[in-house]
Structure 1
Amino acid sequence: MVVGDVMKDLYIFGNTDRISQEAPVPILGVKKNDLKAGGAANVALNAAALGLKVTILSIVGEDKPAEEIERILKSQSVNCIFIRCSNTQTVQKHRIISQNQQILRIDYEAGKSNEGFSGDNYLKLFSYFKKEVDSEKHKAIILSDYKKGVLAYCKRLISTAKKKSIPVFVDPKGASFSNYKYSTFLKPNLKEFERVVGSSVSRAEFNSKAVKLKNILNVDNLLITKGQSGMLLFQGKKAPLTVSAHNSKEVFDVTGAGDTVLATIVAATANNYSLVDAVKIASVSAGIAVSKFGTSSISSNELKAEIINSSGITSSLKINLKLKKNDELFENLCKRKTIKGKKELGIFFDHIKTEKKSIVFTNGCFDIIHAGHIFLLEKAKKFGDFLVVGLNSDKSVKQLKGENRPINGEKDRINVLKSIMWVDFVVVFKEKTPYKIIETICPNVLVKGGDYLPNEIIGSDLVKRNGGKIKIVPFKKGLSSTNVMKKI
């Protein structure tokens, strides 16, 4: 969940090739407008783009800019809880751009940081926040403070979240960070940090001030972002860690880069990356963000591609990222319950090897499913972790059973097998026998129904050679597809 100050960012692009006769100022010939959601809303969009389910909580005006921001957020599946305040206006920042340069910014906002906000607005904010926290559906809280008033009393929010053991990540602002005491993670940029502690004449003095601030605030982790100089992480009682800036792309615009960094760190830690790896990933995301114009979000695929293809990223992080990606692909295979082609077999084997799981294999035409088939599959599943069923293709069934078979087509037979609770995966083979598919899959256990001797079972030599086992499940008397067909 993201809580903080949302704002409307409007980019007005045009050309300035004339001077006004009214005053010695350039005339902008407007070419296009680009409306974006800024502030805490940009954090929410970045988190959503990285695959998180996001709720955003804020206080806004009863005006069109608030509606525009909400529309943008909802288009990206962000759940919006906006408390409408009639006594204030939603913050707007209009940026005038000519020849890819910002020449003017026009701000629309109240005079003081929380001018117009009432006690009732804050009570509603606390009420909604507690309800969301008590729902136990949020893995993390992000407080995005632009000092516009929404987080004027954020101590209470931090305390409420901590009681539920929900980590709180803060992007701070202001001359004092006392409001952010006891948060899990604090991320000021260099200018914000030095505004609070003062400038330093040496690295030792800088680090000493950072540790002192971290201890005074009782925050678990402090990350200071330093632009092109990278980031400095103070984690627990560990020595400070410098993370280099990732500058594979040309720096175009730094607007909103801090939002991207914090959203990426939360997304990475929510997906079980270590904090150190999360910060390294965030450095890459910042490098992508500054190559884009204005406030922007980056997708998980965009981020993964940049990390995997970059020569400046450590191999351990690449391997970790690839394993995470393979986990996602394996989950998709599990939902589909079918394995097709070498690529999907590779995903399957990578998971089996990493998780040290066992494979049970059995096969058949499964043309007319009966109680004997169910008995075989139930028994087979008990011999290992994943039951893979090799299914004869339609052409293969015809070769074995004759031109009038199968009764049920390949797709229907696959769907029936997928619906059986003991079957984990179905893989179709085109040959008359499953020998090649057994050779490819290398099961730990090969299961066959009937009264075969182990050496008579196709593929048994392959399985034994790899240290696997052969299991024979006796037929249920009188149960066969042929007998079923005769009765019909």
Structure 2
Amino acid sequence: MKIVVVGDTLLDEDIDGVAERFQPDAPVPVVDVHTRRSRAGGAGLVARMLQHDGHDVHLVTALSADEPAERLRQHLDGVHLVAGLLPAPTPVKTRLRAAGQPVARIDDGCGDPVLPHVTREMLTTIAEADAIIVSDYGRALTAHPEIRVALHRRGTQVPLVWDPHPRGADPVPSARLVTPNLAEAAKAAGTGADAAAAAAAGARLRERWGCSALVITLGSEGALLLDADHAPALIPARPVDAADACGAGDRFAASVLLALAADAELPNAVRSAVDAAGDFLAAGGVAALGAAGLPRASASADAFTVAERVRSSGGTVVATGGCFDLLHAGHVRTLTAARALGDCLIVCLNSDDSVRRLKGPERPLISEPDRVELLTALGCVDAVVVFAEDGPQAVLDQLRPDIWVKGGDYSAQSLPETDLVESWGGSVLTLPYHLGRSTTALADAIARVG
């Protein structure tokens, strides 16, 4: 199934630290920065979520010709990117937190939206979609007349879910489901922003937009579904203890599209999407995002927690990376030596798809979950984070270790990640290669025995 995500892509940054004093000349906290992480936001986050679910994802968006856009392209590695030119700076949203609590959000390049340049490839991709999700972040892509015509035409043939924005364009009438949150629905309908007014807001918007159904997400209260065939239905959410609900709406919209594309009845699709949003928050939500775009497993989510804890105590974070297919004595010796360099060791592990691209269709010999389990069982490994790209640069940009270690006959300066690690003051070390011990040699020996 070819899923097409259409919408505005932003660069999201998280800056985390601690605030233990105030500025001398003003009553504002001074935040000592411990970590900086960036990721694709907006429609890019939705595309990453769906890719993580294992789907064939095409992202129709617009990107600028600037440095933040290049970082976005790296974060979107593995997604089929179909991008027109955005003749404006890349919108960057930076969240500053101290001890996990929000301090400020800094928006850069988020001025008045500018219509992007639309290419024939963008329109063709929409026309060939098996399912479409529109992730509108008010940056004008969905207001482009050619994009709107293409979306409306294809929406009459395949499921189309539209996640709107207060400053965005109206959904096209062929949308199967529109998914505003309560604040967005209230602003668009001119009603009160409380649960009691949600049904009136939804009815007014469904009539105005001409869509067949609308669901208003209510956060911890669940979602209110309104369609022509049923009375308004409240679908409750189970309680989730989450400090940050960022990204839950994107997870809801992506999940409801998947359910509708699988021919689920609308109430059942909404029910599954409410549950998926809860699972997303319970797993750590957007704060636990890894380079592959989502917490893939507890080990991935824990890696950043481990690094933050070590930094907070003044320790040294060490990281290394690789495929680690058929774990052998050479691996263990290198990992043990790496752990001795600092106060924790985090292994950045190539995903199965990444290994196949690097090593060929017969690899890996050991599946990703098993490789994670084997590595985390070693006493010298504190956490494992899986990345989907060919190289570790994106996950390193989020993890920002003090020391990056590689085993083998490399020189530090020959590694493509060296400049990146040194950009935040980190260092790169190489450890000796253990002759006669390699995955390839071990695999060949096993094949001869077989």
Instruction: Report the TM-score range of the alignment, normalised by the length of the smaller protein.
Output: 0.5 to 0.7
**Is contact 1:254-1:289 (8 Å) kept?**
no
Relative to 1, partners in 2 of residues 1:203 and 1:91: Cα closer, same or farther, differing over 3 Å?
Answer: closer
Matched, 1:250 2:241: yes
Supply the AA of the counterpart residue of 2:163. Answer: D
Supply the AA of the counterpart residue of 1:207. Answer: A
Relative to 1, partners in 2 of residues 1:301 and 1:238: Cα closer, same or farther, differing over 3 Å?
Answer: farther
Q: Which has the higher contact order (CA 8 A, sep 6+)?
A: 2
Give the corresponding residue for 1:343: none
Give the corresponding residue for 2:121: 128
Relative to 1, partners in 2 of residues 1:105 and 1:282: Cα closer, same or farther, differing over 3 Å?
Answer: same
Compare 15-24 and 142-151 and name the one that shifted more: 15-24
Relative to 1, partners in 2 of residues 1:32 and 1:158: Cα closer, same or farther, differing over 3 Å?
Answer: same
Matched, 1:266 2:257: yes
Say which of 262, 270, 281 aligns to 1:279.
270
Relative to 1, partners in 2 of residues 1:177 and 1:3: Cα closer, same or farther, differing over 3 Å?
Answer: closer
Give the corresponding residue for 1:391: none
Query: Displacement of 1:148 after TM fit?
Result: 1.3
Query: Displacement of 1:13 after TM fit?
Result: 0.9
Q: Could you list the runs of 5+ residues in structure 2 that have no partner in the other structure? A: 299-450
**Is contact 1:246-1:286 (8 Å) kept?**
no
Query: What secondary structure, in the 3-state scheme, does the structure 2 residue paired with 1:57 have?
Result: strand
Separation in 1, partners of 2:35, 2:21: 18
- The C-alpha deviation readout for 1:9-51, integer Å capped at 9, x for no partner, is 1111111112233544222111111111111111111112222
Query: What secondary structure, in the 3-state scheme, does the structure 2 residue paired with 1:269 have?
Result: helix
Give the corresponding residue for 1:84: 85
Separation in 2, partners of 1:223, 1:53: 26
Separation in 1, partners of 2:90, 2:193: 41
- The C-alpha deviation readout for 1:43-97, integer Å capped at 9, x for no partner, is 11111222221000111110121121221121xx211112234x31111011111
- The C-alpha deviation readout for 1:201-246, integer Å capped at 9, x for no partner, is 9988643442343133221110110112210112332222211012
Separation in 1, partners of 2:246, 2:195: 27
Give the corresponding residue for 2:386: none
Matched, 1:157 2:158: no
**Is contact 1:50-1:264 (8 Å) kept?**
no
Relative to 1, partners in 2 of residues 1:58 and 1:23: Cα closer, same or farther, differing over 3 Å?
Answer: same
Give the corresponding residue for 1:109: 109
Relative to 1, partners in 2 of residues 1:13 and 1:275: Cα closer, same or farther, differing over 3 Å?
Answer: same
Supply the AA of the counterpart residue of 1:78. Answer: V
Separation in 2, partners of 1:21, 1:301: 44
| Larger Rg, first or second structure (1 or 2) | 1
Supply the AA of the counterpart residue of 1:99. Answer: A
Say which of 5, 9, 28 aligns to 1:6.
9
Equivalent runs, 1:416-455 vs 2, <5 Å? none
Separation in 2, partners of 1:16, 1:23: 14
Matched, 1:97 2:100: no
Say which of 60, 63, 87 aligns to 1:60.
63
Query: What secondary structure, in the 3-state scheme, does the structure 1 residue paired with 2:70 have?
Result: helix
**Is contact 1:181-1:217 (8 Å) kept?**
yes
> How many residue pairs get matched?
290
Cα RMSD (Å):
2.8
Query: What secondary structure, in the 3-state scheme, does the structure 1 residue paired with 2:69 have?
Result: helix
Separation in 1, partners of 2:296, 2:265: 17
Separation in 2, partners of 1:106, 1:173: 19
Give the corresponding residue for 1:476: none
**Is contact 2:152-2:172 (8 Å) kept?**
no
Give the corresponding residue for 1:443: none
Matched, 1:27 2:19: no
Give the corresponding residue for 1:484: none
**Is contact 1:51-1:300 (8 Å) kept?**
no
**Is contact 1:184-1:219 (8 Å) kept?**
yes
Separation in 1, partners of 2:294, 2:228: 29
**Is contact 2:58-2:79 (8 Å) kept?**
yes
Query: What secondary structure, in the 3-state scheme, does the structure 1 residue paired with 2:252 have?
Result: helix
Equivalent runs, 1:296-445 vs 2, <5 Å? 296=289
Separation in 2, partners of 1:293, 1:280: 19
Separation in 2, partners of 1:202, 1:13: 32
Supply the AA of the counterpart residue of 1:148. Answer: R
Say which of 203, 224, 231 aligns to 1:232.
224
Query: Displacement of 1:254 after TM fit?
Result: 1.0
**Is contact 1:54-1:78 (8 Å) kept?**
yes
**Is contact 2:7-2:142 (8 Å) kept?**
yes
Matched, 1:47 2:40: no
Relative to 1, partners in 2 of residues 1:89 and 1:98: Cα closer, same or farther, differing over 3 Å?
Answer: same
Give the corresponding residue for 1:211: 203
Query: What secondary structure, in the 3-state scheme, does the structure 2 residue paired with 1:62 have?
Result: coil
TM-score, normalised via structure 2 length: 0.59
**Is contact 1:231-1:244 (8 Å) kept?**
yes
TM-score, normalised via structure 1 length: 0.55
Give the corresponding residue for 1:199: 191
Supply the AA of the counterpart residue of 1:261. Answer: F
Give the corresponding residue for 1:459: none
